[in-house]
Amino acid sequence: MAMMRLRREDPRVVGSFRLHRRLGAGGMGVVYLGSDRRGQRVALKVIRPDLAEDQEFRSRFAREVSAARRIRGGCTARLVAADLEADRPWFATQYVPGPSLHDKVNEEGPLSAAQVAAVGAALSEGLLAVHDAGVVHRDLKPSNILLSPKGPRIIDFGIAWATGASTLTHVGTAVGSPGFLAPEQVRGAAVTPATDVFALGATLAYASTADSPFGQGSSEVMLYRVVHEEPQLMGVPDALAPLLHACLAKDPEERPSTLQLSLRLKEIAAREAHGVAENRPPAPRREPERPTGRRAEEYAQQHTERRPGGTPAPRPQQPRAAESPRASAPRTGGGRTTNGGGRANGARTGSGRTTGAGRGPAGRSGARPPARTTGTGRRSPGPDRRLLRQRLIVFVVVTLLVALGIAAAQGCQGPANSMRELHRPPVESAGAGPAGPAAPAAGA
């Protein structure tokens, strides 16, 4: 909402509110932006001096303020305070930040069918709360609807009136805005909730086309069209046109109720929003950047997927570079391929490990763990396989050492027994001579 500086004739303080800016002026008075001692911001309307001297207007204004206090709903600006006995009566409502529907459409163009239906559904709920309080707004139009971050809000209940009251303040003078008045308002008949339904239909038609359904012209021309001519709904989306045409019926009895209008607009909003989501083209898929060099090695290690049994998942085959003549050399029986004393790319060693830059034959990549590519173009085992090899070597060495120790211990026991047998003195057998040299005779 546009704000202007205070003029010299504008008051600086009204009641307990300090005024800061002008928000606008209308047929009843001037609207200011104010705040109380706690910092709460309000939209404060001060009645025009000539209307303040009219006792009939004061009485009607007092009844309207009393009715506005009963309104409860999230789609309306709540009445904060009012002074009906002041020299210039005033009332303050909750300040709603955001542009009006009129300014939004005037600056950015018509709204989509989904947006119009969503705004209309919220406004219908707001009018339902207004009508439940026994009040008819009577001046619903695009400039009296603010699009706040929390949703649309209905403002300016300055000419609101109890259900069944007339719209004529003086003889032949209708209260409201030409192009959005209902036919019964122009004729001076009693207003009902159907009066606000007509105004809401005209407001939603404006949001869809950026123009009044009764065109442009002087007040007299517009009022005549409202009473005698059919609304022009060219440009209104097909999903909304039948419902808005029903809202703009000349006979109030032929218009949908506020509750029916709310339910129908919710259905249209949901259907249109779903259709927009289905027709929206998919977002372009961005290919992830492939790291190079040392980052490529770390990335491959971190994103290696493994199967439940611990077997590494097969990595997608990468396109091979042009193979050199050495890579296509045949294998020898020993599993090594030589070409001038060198080992060919993709050759297998005796241990079955690929030492070249190429992979083994097709179909074996799923059974092997992914290898890491070194800076020289060769693939070397990742850290997990290198650690496994180290542990395997340590285990084999320890096993061999233990086996050698056991064998050595058994070998030491065998020679010791043999030496003892060699150094043991011979045993003489009965009737047989000594095995060695003859022993000297006793007494010899």
Q: Which residues are catalytic?
A: 139
Contact 46, 61 (CB under 8 A): no
Contact 74, 167 (CB under 8 A): no
Helix (H, G, I), strand (E, B) or coil at 312: strand
- The Cα-based distances of 444 to 2, 428, 430, 432, 437 in angstroms read 152, 20, 22, 21, 16
Contacts of 179 (CB under 8 A, 6+ apart): 202, 212, 213, 214, 215, 222, 226
Counting every residue written for the chain, the total comes to: 444
Amino acid in position 335: G
Cα–Cα distance, 245 to 112 (Å, whole number) = 18
Nearest to 191 by CA among 169, 173, 164, 172: 164
Contacts of 208 (CB under 8 A, 6+ apart): 110, 111, 113, 116, 235, 236, 237, 240, 244
- The Cβ of residue 67 has, within 10 Å, a number of other Cβ atoms equal to 21
C-alpha torsion 384→386→390→396, nearest 10: 90
Contacts of 96 (CB under 8 A, 6+ apart): 43, 77, 146, 148, 153, 155
